[in-house]
Amino acid sequence: MDELAERFEQHRAHLTRVAYRMLGTASEAEDAVQEAWLRLSRADAGAVANLGGWLTTVVARVCLDELRTRRARETWELEPIVQLDDTPEDEAILADSVGLALLVVLETLTPAERLAFVLHDMFGVPFSEIAEILERTPEAARQLASRARRQVRGKAPSPDADLAHQREIVDAFLAASRAGDFDRLVAVLDPDAVFRVRGGTVRPVTVQGAADVARTVLARGSRLAPLARPAVVNGAAGAIVGPVDDPISVVAFTVANGRVVSIDVIAQPKLRW
């Protein structure tokens, strides 16, 4: 059993990444990985030729069941991963992170679409294996991933890679918000920028277009802007608003081509530090 546990630990980080991208919460991701360990401990591990693939399949199925249950409940709550230091020590974690905007878009997919996209596009799992998990044909799995890919590309653009550059743009946005300067806000926003609010007891809000986003930010957020402090949110420049131990919200920014293309506010968040 000790040897089996050691082999499992070699795959834990990968399994956690798969589960977090599937579920969007670190706590549920950990639960899914723990369930995979329990199933492995009860299985005939000696008969498993590819342990990594077997475990990935188990985690994917656990996550798929959770997503289907969540869809029936019509509730979801993202769990942002936050660092207060803009120069995190573990650059590998930063490079491997998944943006909050992408997780928000993934929540709009069906469970099957999300599984096909995450496993294939993010982790290179063949469609033949995805088809077995979904109990569909490989071609059907391919179509699911294709539909998901179109939505992701349209709603979650790839961010600029330089964190310091992202921080400059976000700082300019926060300064304009604190000053109540509409023109400066519009100047740092992409023309098609989107502003989203989710979480807690707050009614979900989605606003698109630089001018409308700027007006919404000034109407809703100017009084909170002085409470914002820089943070790294899911690997990108962001902010935490209010006390660190009980924040009002976490704000994730997506900066692409030197402008803010999306702002995702998670109210009353559950945080993972």
Q: For 135-173, write each residue's pLDDT tens digit.
A: 999 999 999 999 999 999 878 888 898 899 999 999 999
pLDDT band at 92 (very low <50, low <70, confident <90, very high): very low
Q: What is the DSSP letter of 81?
A: B
| Least confident interval from 90-94, 169-173, 187-191, 244-248 | 90-94
Q: Which two tokens stand for residue 34?
A: 């723990």
Average pLDDT, the chain: 89
84: nearest Cα among 272, 261, 214, 216:
272
Mean pLDDT within 40-48:
85
What percent of the chain clears pLDDT 90, i.e. is strictly above it? 67
- Is residue 24 classed as helix, strand or coil in its secondary structure? coil
Residue 204 scores a pLDDT above 50: yes
| Least confident interval from 73-77, 205-209, 262-266 | 73-77
How long, in residues, is the chain? 273
What percent of the chain clears pLDDT 70, i.e. is strictly above it? 93
Domains contained in the chain, CATH given: 2-155 (1.20.140.160), 163-267 (3.10.450.50)
C-beta separation of 238 from 159 below 8 A: no
> What single letter denotes the amino acid at residue 217?
V
| Chain center to CA of 81 | 9
What percent helix, strand, coil does the chain show, rounded to 5?
Answer: 55, 15, 25
Q: For 171-191, write each residue's pLDDT tens digit.
A: 999 999 999 999 999 999 999
Q: Which two tokens stand for residue 155?
A: 């709603």
Q: What is the pLDDT of residue 72?
A: 67
Q: Which residue has the higher pLDDT, 117 or 199?
A: 117
Residue 88 scores a pLDDT above 60: no
Q: For 6-26, write each residue's pLDDT tens digit.
A: 999 999 999 999 999 999 988
